[in-house]
Copies of this chain bind each other. A is one copy, B any other.
Amino acid sequence: MIVELVSTGTELLLGQITNTNAPFLAARLNELGFSVLYQTTVGDNRERMKRVLQTALERADIVITSGGLGPTQGDITKEVTAAVLSRPMCFHADCAERIKRYFADRRLCMADNNLRQAMMPAGAKIVENNCGTAPGVIVEDNTAGKIIINLPGPPHELAAMFEASIIPYLKEHYGLQGAIVSRVLRTYGLGESALEEKIKDFILSQSNPTLALLVRNGVINIRITASAVNETAALQLITGLEDQIRPLISEYIFGIDDDTLEQAVGRLLLAKDLKIALAESCTGGLVTSRLTDVPGSSRYVTGSVVCYSNEIKVAQVGVPAAVLAAEGAVSQKTAASMAQGIKARYSPDIGLGITGIAGPGGATAGKPVGLVYIAIDGPAGTAGYQHYFNGSRTDVKHRTALAALNHLRRYLLTL
């Protein structure tokens, strides 16, 4: 089945917002086995939208629109859908009731134009919106065997409606048998081409499950997707391939699906009943902020000091002034003293020290922007790491944070 996604809205044409609905729908539809071959964006203009929908119906079996279901005069997607399929628009009493109730439940006053949202193409299936007032619409053109689905524009409304109602509808309508299941292996520490090289044979021979590499914010996702008669069988296929891949790259895999490095670190700290404190210089608190993005992290994050200045490094972290004088603030010894000092002062089981030059200023002879030292002090002694990172100030901070979390993860694995 061929799908065309039609995104509507002037903000998209003006480039004021980025279209995140299209990639969301495309990814989910592909997982279900549909081929999304076209994506089109058009504004809230009756004639142009009509021609776009007609073109879409010629080349696709299913047309899914997003946006233009609201209460204003500019919201015309349902009307244009009705026009393209030669249906009249009818008042839908149930919808009107549901919209009135939505406002009453929230003690909000309803403007009359909200009832425009209860006008529907004749014969349409109405899809409930659990996150907003605009219902979705499914119109089947039985003669041509084609379908137009109208979804709301706000991404959280669209996603919720798609998961709760459209996927079940599509599965039933097309008698989709079986299941398509994906698992993502999350990796850090090896570049894309090096990673690809290690699992190349599996990528080349892929058919079911399929394998795809995807870089996201410094982390590389390996997506394994299998289709089978049911979920259990699909999972078996995934596990079969995963068991072959893992040994080749095990040290780089820190989690699956939506896992983050900070979650992986948190799990290890909890499992080993260890606490951590940090002394951060060039990252300015970013690593602690990421560690504390994880619910329950108060159980293992004792505290941190952001110590930009040498005075604070000495007075609040306990870095010996002699080390700073002899080695400089950005040095392996200072990082080690920071890790040891914060451990002594805050009494966790593990101390982490980070010092470096985030830029754009601050470089000296032999110490370029991007030079970073990370040290960990804990039950296995003091470990030190040196890095040269590229990019802007915030890039260097971000890359340093990822590296620090990953060093921590691997240090914890040795305990």
Contacts and interface: CB of A to CB of B under 8 A. Distances in A.
Contact of A293 (B18, B291, B393): B393
A42 interface: yes
B42 A38 contact: yes
Interface stretch (A23-31, A164-172, A381-389): A23-31
Q: How big is the A interface, by class?
A: 35 or more
A280 interface: yes
How many copies of this protein are present in the complex?
A: 2
6 contacts: A55-B55, A286-B289, A295-B361, A297-B308, A302-B308, A304-B305
A38 B37 contact: no
Contacts of A286: 285, 289
Contacts of A36: 13-15
B19 A23 contact: yes
A17 B18 CA distance: 12
Interface in A89-107: none
Contacts of A361: 295-296
Contacts of A38: 40-42, 48, 52
A71 interface: no
Nearest to A18: B23
The 6 A-B pairs with the shortest beta carbon distances in the complex, nearest first, are: A285-B285, A284-B292, A15-B27, A15-B26, A39-B41, A285-B288
B42 A48 contact: no
A39 to B, nearest CB: 4
A55 B58 CA distance: 13
Contacts of A14: 26-27, 30, 36
A42 B52 contact: no
Interface of A: 7, 12-20, 22-30, 36-43, 45, 48, 51-52, 55, 59, 212, 214, 278, 280, 283-289, 291-293, 295-298, 301-309, 312, 316, 345-346, 358-361, 393-394, 397
Contact of A18 (B18, B287, B291): B18
Given A297-B308, A303-B309, 8 more contacts: A14-B27, A15-B28, A19-B22, A284-B289, A288-B306, A292-B358, A295-B360, A305-B316
A283 B292 CA distance: 8
A284 B291 contact: yes
Given A15-B23, A303-B307, A285 B280 contact: yes
Nearest to A360: B295
Contacts of A28: 15
